[in-house]
Amino acid sequence: MLVRLFPLLLSHHLHPSCTRSARQTFRWSLGRGAAASRGLRSMEPLQTAQDPETPATKLPPTPAESSAEGTSPAKANTAGDQEKTVAGLLPGETVVKEGKAAICFPSANEVFYNPVQEFNRDLTCAVITEFARDLLAQRGVKIVVPGEKERVVVSLSDETNEADAQTEEKNGAEEPAVTATVGEKCENGLRVLEGLAASGLRSVRFALEVPGLQSVTANDFSTKAATLIARNAQYNGVSHLLQASCRDASMLMYEMRGKKERYDVIDLDPYGSPASFLDAAVQAVSEGGLLCVTCTDMAVMAGNSGETCYSKYGSVSIKSRYCHEMALRIILHSLDQRAGVYQRYIQPLLSVSVDFYIRVFVRVFTGQVKVKNSVSKQALVYNCVGCGSFHLQRMGRRTINGKHTKYSAATGPPVGPECEHCGQRHQLGGPMWAEPIHDLPFVQKVLSAVSGNPSRFGTSKRIEGMLSMVTEELEDVPLYYTVDSLSSTIHCNTPPLLQFRSALLHAGHRVSLSHACKNAVKTDAPPAALWDIMRCWEKANPVKREKLSETSPAFKILSTEPSLEACFTVREDANPQSRKRHLTRFQENPQAFWGPKARARSCGGISSDLQDKRKKCQNKRKNQITDSSQLKDFPCKKFRQGSCNHGDKCCYSHDPERTKEEKME
């Protein structure tokens, strides 16, 4: 009787146009096999959330069920354990395959799905795998990843490090007695929550690709989405690991704040801002647990609406060249501030900015003493509106004297009322996270795992390229400049990236690239040194100073003589290893119009195509002209004004009657 309850719930959400026979076939296909009992367990939270008092109704067996009941139980169990439970597709449904998961999607736009986020999901699986490897090793469990032969430390330098290799061999000598593989339930494994699961694709991939999991809870507030999650779990044969839940994400996390009920991993990937879920998330994650957050409201965090950014994240964003890295630091500041309310603090593991969204992975700990350090980790930024120079102002000071630590207010500001280089005013942004945004040893582990097993993910090459750039970044230098913006300020030619980096190295400064921007330059050089280098470059590539306004930033910057003689000879160490190896470091457009897709409709319905919407909203003519001969049907405006000199060769009509008709209209 209980086995037939799961098909009953799903048949309630079938399309109205489905026939009775199609409904019966769908019930039978989902109700048979050993995985049916697993599907029932995965739907328990969904049933409780919808109608906990509804009694189970026994369905009359269909002819297909009656004939199937005579099947050998051993064969049914073997098929359910070794193969995926194949469910019949409804009319108009499609199956999307990503990684090892195969997800059923309805034809209507009822559940959100973005194929471009495959990189996000691949990177998340890689990070959680390495997090599970470290955490479960402390519990005496060793995870086994398919396709992974041995742990190899990837070094971007040409020389091998024998000491690191010996350390890896020693660590691998003492192997735990218990092993965990993908798709199997581990009693001492991780408890994972995906708060906004939509179709459940991410959770299904966790269950199929990440070893060492005890349970995966895929939650969504939409009833249709929760039903689809349960069905996809059944379809992929992971119902013993994945549980579907139809709850408000914040309320679900608030209820799991107890120390014994917290999740080891919480993943939040909302459509837009995650601000409303952060307070509950920092409480519901376990001690030392992993919190994964995605933000797709880059317009707000990149400076288009500073007041909105403050209302959501407690920080003012400003328009600048470094806006993408500043967005990462704003969300880290918001997480640390909300965690501090509950005497908790964050430790960033990896933070990446990818065009229209950002993704951060942080660990959350509890400690009243270390929470006091939070104020000294935040900073305000003074950004010049003229030349783009910026200075950071820490929010607090921390002085360590032996075993004693003294906290005091910061002194400032670090700049005057006007910029010392161009004389323009400053914008004030922040506060933001001013400490390192990556844990380089952890990033190195993820990079080693991905590069050593490239067939595991579809975007392995891009993950390897981006993480390689992350390991090359200066971790103690917040924000960056761009070479084109420096050149644009003084209206000169843009110096080649390698020559500009070499000039900084010759001057005794450190320099690196940034994964957040293609032509970014992260350096510990002060703005005065940067402008001295640009003045030297301008002398070799002079601009027409007579055309510069005396009040322009370019005129005031170039009016000052450089205090150093820049050397633009290219150095060997100016070109990083990731660039030498031609790694895929930045986003490649996978398809046309690949940006953020339309939000899923609560009432369903097929969404309009993006190109059709563009024609409807932006184009002036409904019928686009594909042949130039069709232009003769339109009167020439210049002929009407008497200024057309093309005569009969004009592609538009010179017919006076057409011109009169247009005037009459």
The tens digit of pLDDT for each residue in 172-191 reads 445 566 899 999 999 999 99
610 burial (CB, 10 Å; 0-12 / 13-18 / 19+) is middle
Q: Give residue 52's pLDDT.
A: 35
Q: Give residue 91's pLDDT.
A: 74
Q: Is 579 helix (H, G, I), strand (E, B) or coil?
A: helix
Q: Give residue 87's pLDDT.
A: 45
- Predicted confidence band at 429 (pLDDT cuts at 50, 70, 90)? very high
The answer, yes or no, to whether residue 468 has pLDDT greater than 90, is yes
Q: Give residue 582's pLDDT.
A: 86
Q: Give residue 611's pLDDT.
A: 57
Among 137-151, 178-192, 268-282, name the one with the lowest average pLDDT: 137-151
Q: How far from 478 is each of 119, 358, 438, 467, 512, CA to CA, in Å?
A: 25, 16, 12, 18, 12
Distance, in Å, from the CA atom of 525 to the CA atom of 533, rounded to the nearest integer, reads 11
- Edge to edge, the sheet with strand 242-245 lists 242-245, 213-219, 185-194, 263-268, 285-295, 357-366, 344-354
- Predicted confidence band at 585 (pLDDT cuts at 50, 70, 90)? confident
Mean pLDDT value of segment 506-521 = 94
Q: Give residue 651's pLDDT.
A: 84
More confident residue, 183 or 158: 183
The answer, yes or no, to whether residue 5 has pLDDT greater than 50, is no
The answer, yes or no, to whether residue 62 has pLDDT greater than 80, is no
Of 244, 236, 200, nearest to 30 (Cα)?
236
More confident residue, 581 or 331: 331
- Predicted confidence band at 4 (pLDDT cuts at 50, 70, 90)? very low
The answer, yes or no, to whether residue 137 has pLDDT greater than 80, is yes
Distance, in Å, from the CA atom of 475 to the CA atom of 369, rounded to the nearest integer, reads 24
More confident residue, 255 or 633: 255
The answer, yes or no, to whether residue 37 has pLDDT greater than 50, is no
Of 220, 247, 252, nearest to 233 (Cα)?
220
Mean pLDDT value of segment 105-121 = 76
- Predicted confidence band at 354 (pLDDT cuts at 50, 70, 90)? confident
Q: Is 368 helix (H, G, I), strand (E, B) or coil?
A: helix
Q: How remote is the C-alpha of 37 from its chain's centroid?
A: 35
Mean pLDDT value of segment 456-468 = 93
Structure tokens at 655: 């017919």
Mean pLDDT over each residue of the chain, to the nearest integer: 80
Q: Is 369 helix (H, G, I), strand (E, B) or coil?
A: helix
Mean pLDDT value of segment 107-121 = 75
- Predicted confidence band at 659 (pLDDT cuts at 50, 70, 90)? low
The answer, yes or no, to whether residue 50 has pLDDT greater than 90, is no
Model-wide pTM > 0.85? no
Q: Is 624 helix (H, G, I), strand (E, B) or coil?
A: coil
More confident residue, 33 or 343: 343
The answer, yes or no, to whether residue 213 has pLDDT greater than 90, is yes
Q: Residues for the chain: how many in total?
A: 665
For CA atoms 363, 364, 365, 367, the dihedral sign is positive
Instruction: Fill in the DSSP letter of residue 622.
Output: S
Mean pLDDT value of segment 264-290 = 95
The answer, yes or no, to whether residue 39 has pLDDT greater than 90, is no
Mean pLDDT value of segment 597-605 = 55
- Predicted confidence band at 649 (pLDDT cuts at 50, 70, 90)? confident
Structure tokens at 414: 């670090």
Mean pLDDT value of segment 10-24 = 40
**In this predicted model, what pLDDT tens digit does every residue of 527-583 receive, in sequence order?**
999 999 999 999 999 998 888 999 999 999 999 999 999 999 999 999 999 998 888
Q: How far from 138 is each of 42, 133, 134, 446, 519, CA to CA, in Å?
A: 29, 9, 7, 18, 42
Q: Give residue 116's pLDDT.
A: 80
The answer, yes or no, to whether residue 71 has pLDDT greater than 50, is no
Among 152-161, 258-267, 552-561, 585-594, name the one with the lowest average pLDDT: 152-161
Q: How far from 509 is each of 125, 513, 524, 572, CA to CA, in Å?
A: 37, 14, 6, 15
